[in-house]
Amino acid sequence: MKIQVVVGSTRPARATLGVARWVAEQVGLQVPQAQVELVDLADYPMPFFNEPASPQFNPSRQPEPVVKAWLDKVAQADAYVLVTPEYNRSFPAVLKNALDFLDSQFAEKPVALVAHGSTGGAHAVVHLRSALAGVQAITMPVATYIVGMGGNLFARDGTPKADVQGIAKALARNVQSLVRFAVVQKQAD
């Protein structure tokens, strides 16, 4: 099973990278049989969505190289963990843009959500659930809400700076759902 942990923000000083690194490590410990890969949106500097038609209804689309690289990368996974901060009561535009480029890559695949922010990224999660329905992904019923700024809790390399046992427990439940859904989907294939 391949699980990708997506870093949902790209600004140079972002805290989400540290959060996502810790999340990827936790997923690896919890699901040792899985291949866990960190996918950083900063490695895919895509333009704002600029295609002539909706990707899901454009079988002859010819995405430009950086977009194709993003699509090819995420197509490899069976399941995803999206790690996102909250920006102005939603999730970052760069993540929305990356989702807008998808055609079938996330379709009927499970996605776990991990958010951080002063209200635990709750608004980001609500908006992500909605956007992910648009690309036919299956979002896990319980998200992981990290109350506070991720940068206060995790160093850039993913090392916790505080007691994160409660977050680890919530994440474990989320990942357990993710694996269950991924197994069912793989059996159905």
List interacting residues with ligand FMN (CB under 6 A): 9, 11, 14-16, 85-89, 117-119, 149-151
Enter the tokens of residue 32: 């040792």
Shortest approach of ligand FMN to residue 92 CB, angstroms? 7
Q: Which residue has the tokens 């055609």?
A: 103
Q: Note whether 153 and 162 are within 8 A (CB).
A: yes
CB atoms within 10 A of CB 72: 11
Amino acid, single-letter form, for residue 125: V
Helices 122-134 and 93-100 cross at an angle (nearest 10°) of 10
Q: Note whether 91 and 8 are within 8 A (CB).
A: yes
Shortest approach of ligand FMN to residue 171 CB, angstroms? 17
Shortest approach of ligand FMN to residue 175 CB, angstroms? 21
Shortest approach of ligand FMN to residue 119 CB, angstroms? 5
Question: Between residues 34 and 143, which has the closer beta carbon with respect to ligand FMN?
Answer: 143
Question: Between residues 61 and 129, which has the closer beta carbon with respect to ligand FMN?
Answer: 129
Question: Between residues 92 and 110, which has the closer beta carbon with respect to ligand FMN?
Answer: 92
Q: Note whether 171 and 25 are within 8 A (CB).
A: no
Q: Which residue has the tokens 């958010």?
A: 115
Question: Between residues 2 and 89, which has the closer beta carbon with respect to ligand FMN?
Answer: 89
